[in-house]
Amino acid sequence: MLSPDIKNEISQKIIASRQIAILTGAGISAESGIPTFRGNGGHWKNFRAEELATPDAFRRDPKLVWEWYEMRRSICKKSLPNPGHIAIAELEKQNSSKKFHLFTQNVDGLHRQAGSKKLTELHGNIFTGRCTKCNHIEENLDTPLSTLPPPCPQCSSPMRPHILWFGETYDPKMLENSIEFLRNSDLILIIGTSGQVTVPVYLAQEAIQAGAFSVEINPEESTLTSSVDISLRGKSGEILPQII
Ligand code: APR
């Protein structure tokens, strides 16, 4: 249980804030049954992600890459938002009159399912495909897919997962808008990320350096722990509902 003082301090900061940013990582989906990549219990070690989540891997063997994503998509499809996702969607509703934005590194779609609307999926979405030829974006791809790779409904060329792969660059406009928002936020909640990926960490640091009050929720320390105002050791599905 959170101490009343901590709960009160964070609640007061939320009430007083005029622009709220939230950054989430795989940890917020752990209680939905989706394994994280690193940290305790992370499944990244078993995955050959660096060999699979890359443009080269897709060029070499698109079917193998899609088979890997089909396995991950089936896990995500069976997963439901947990109290942490729901609390964040509730926080957005409670602060509808303020500037509020959620930046997630997760591709599992659980924030959308929980009702979050003001959302940027920094690394894409596992249920969305993108045509390798005409760049058509197809949301809510069937799971499981009948053909691998799935053909683009517009031009029949093979589609790829609409996910940011190792070695690829973030959409410049999205990045510019994200940095702008973070620089103008006066409160940032950092939830369930180990802080190992450069751009999301940079976004969080931009808010902190601009003077935002920062709160982290993570059972373990992360690379951001030493930078934040309050770092809560615990599960987001248990802590967030107490705050919200
Ligand atoms: N509540 C909150 N945090 C949790 C929970 C939980 N119930 N369970 C685990 N965590 C924390 C872990 O302690 C760890 O610090 O979640 C964090 C997950 O870290 P990672 O597995 O590294 O995931 P993430 O930080 O999101 O990785 C960022 O790396 O591989 C790329 O693109 C991939 O988006 C991913 C990015």
User: In which domain, by residue range, is 243 found?
Assistant: 1-34+81-123+170-244
244, 9 in Cβ contact below 8 A? Answer: no
- pLDDT exceeds cutoff 70 at 86: yes
133: CATH:
3.30.1600.10
Q: Are residues 209 and 240 in the same domain?
A: yes
Identify the weakest region by mean pLDDT among 123-127, 141-145, 210-214, 216-220.
141-145
Q: Are residues 85 and 117 in the same domain?
A: yes
Q: Are residues 209 and 99 in the same domain?
A: yes
pLDDT single digits (tens) 193-239: 999 999 999 999 999 999 999 999 999 999 999 999 999 999 999 99
Q: Are residues 88 and 208 in the same domain?
A: yes
Q: Are residues 133 and 117 in the same domain?
A: no
CA of 219 to the centre of ligand 1 (A): 10
Q: Are residues 187 and 232 in the same domain?
A: yes
Q: Are residues 137 and 117 in the same domain?
A: no
CA of 137 to the centre of ligand 1 (A): 27
Which ligand 1 atom minimizes the distance to the CA of 194? 15
Distance CA 195, CA 93 (A): 27
Domain boundary among 147, 163, 179: 163
Q: Are residues 59 and 95 in the same domain?
A: no
Q: Are residues 39 and 29 in the same domain?
A: no
Confidence of residue 39 (pLDDT cuts 50, 70, 90): low
Q: Are residues 21 and 99 in the same domain?
A: yes
Q: Are residues 158 and 107 in the same domain?
A: no
pLDDT at residue number 41: 61
Strand 213-217 vs strand 187-191: parallel, antiparallel, or unpaired? parallel
Q: Whose CA is nearest to atom 25 of ligand 1?
A: 193
CB within 6 Å of ligand 1 — which residues? 25-28, 30-31, 36-39, 42, 105, 123, 192-194, 196-197, 217-220, 222, 235-237
pTM: predicted TM-score of the whole model, two decimal places: 0.95
Domain count for the chain, please give it.
2
Which ligand 1 atom minimizes the distance to the CA of 42? 21
Confidence of residue 241 (pLDDT cuts 50, 70, 90): very high
- Look up 123 and say whether it is catalytic: yes
239: CATH:
3.40.50.1220
Q: What is the mean pLDDT of residues 166-170?
A: 93
pLDDT at residue number 244: 86
- φ/ψ of 74, rounded to 5, equals -70, -35
CA of 213 to the centre of ligand 1 (A): 21
Q: Are residues 118 and 180 in the same domain?
A: yes
